[in-house]
A = this chain, B = another copy of it.
Amino acid sequence: MNGRAFYIGRFQPFHLGHLNALKWILSREKEVIIGIGSAQQSFEPKNPFTAGERALMIWEALKQENLLERALIVMVPDTYSEHSKWICNIRTYAPTFDTAYTNDELSRLLLEEAGYQVSPIPFFDREKYSGTSIRLLMARGMQWRDLVPQATAKVIDAINGEQRVQRIYRLHGIV
């Protein structure tokens, strides 16, 4: 057991791949800070859900999994193309941590340049458990509920999220 980890993602939405990654990290680390990235974005094809909605999805899932005592959710706004400023957002919105976990190559590059130790995360059936594929299934009105924790599905239903994704994809000419 190591110390405190940082796990950054956009969680659009929070799916079973994320949950598996979280469990894998917690098999190696004492506790984890979950950073909701691109926090200020929403109602976009890549970011349909607000940071508040994503936090609710994750919180409910952590509750179901009995992991609330080992995972703290924080929100990290994007700095868009001003990438050298992103590290300061992490230092503002997250407490200090020992190791960062991410498979995103830009996050890894920026964290490494800032002196952080960065570790990759094993993928869990990457094709299936991917935010992009799940949003596309939503947009097409196909089955996506078995790819996310029940908590995520419940939150998405409460905010009428499937219809939101469909409208956003349609107006951008996707699907």
Q: What are the interface flags for A91-106 relative to B under an 8 Å C-beta threshold, 1 for contact and 0 otherwise? A: 1111110000000011
CB-defined contacts of A69 to chain B, threshold 8 Å: 63, 68
Q: Which residue of B lies closest to A112 (CB)?
A: B167
- Grouping DSSP codes into helix (H, G, I), strand (E, B) and loop, the A interface class, with mixed when no group exceeds half, is helix
Alpha-carbon distance between A50 and B86 when the two chains are bound, in angstroms: 13
Q: Is A56 an interface residue (CB 8 A)?
A: yes
Q: A residues near B, CB below 8 A?
A: 33, 39-44, 47, 50-53, 55-56, 59, 63, 68-69, 72-75, 77, 81-89, 91-96, 105-106, 109-110, 113, 155, 159, 164, 167-168, 170-171
Closest CB in chain B relative to A105 CB, distance in Å: 4
Alpha-carbon distance between A86 and B40 when the two chains are bound, in angstroms: 12
A171 pairs with B95, CB closer than 8 A: no
Closest CB in chain B relative to A100 CB, distance in Å: 14
Contact of A51 among B47, B50, B63, B92 (CB under 8 A): B92
CB-defined contacts of A33 to chain B, threshold 8 Å: 52
B170 pairs with A105, CB closer than 8 A: yes
Known: A69-B68, A95-B52. A41 touches B106 (CB 8 A): no
6 smallest A-B Cβ distances: which pairs?
Answer: A88-B88, A43-B83, A105-B171, A68-B68, A56-B95, A85-B88
Known: A56-B72, A74-B52, A75-B75. A47 touches B81 (CB 8 A): yes
